[in-house]
Amino acid sequence: MPASKYSRIVAEVSMEVTLFGAATVYLLVSSQMINDLLGSLVPSLSQCSWTLILGVLLCPTTWLSTPKDFW
């Protein structure tokens, strides 16, 4: 296998892992903020529940290929 192909695979994998980690952090921070804001209105939902709700709501937007697909 040529070095350039190997380097490309390594770069793609490292970018995917980095993006997954960043998205996970944003999802957790967002669910914590929503829990802090709406916790008194909906006390039965925990931060874990908000994480699942946000994940379900945001997942379909990741299936779109470019921002132009939003409109």
**C-alpha to C-alpha distance for 15 and 7, rounded to whole angstroms:** 12
Question: Does residue 53 fall inside a structural domain?
Answer: yes
Question: Does residue 65 fall inside a structural domain?
Answer: no
Alpha carbon 38 to chain centroid, angstroms:
21
pTM here is: 0.75
**For residue range 18-63, what is the model confidence (pLDDT) as tens digits?**
999 999 999 999 999 999 999 999 999 999 999 999 999 998 888 8
Domain encompassing residue 39: 3-60
Average pLDDT over residues 5-30: 94
Total structural domains within the chain: 1
Which position has the higher pLDDT, 18 or 71? 18
Question: Does residue 66 fall inside a structural domain?
Answer: no
For residue 48, the model assigns a pLDDT of 95
For residue 2, the model assigns a pLDDT of 67
For residue 68, the model assigns a pLDDT of 73
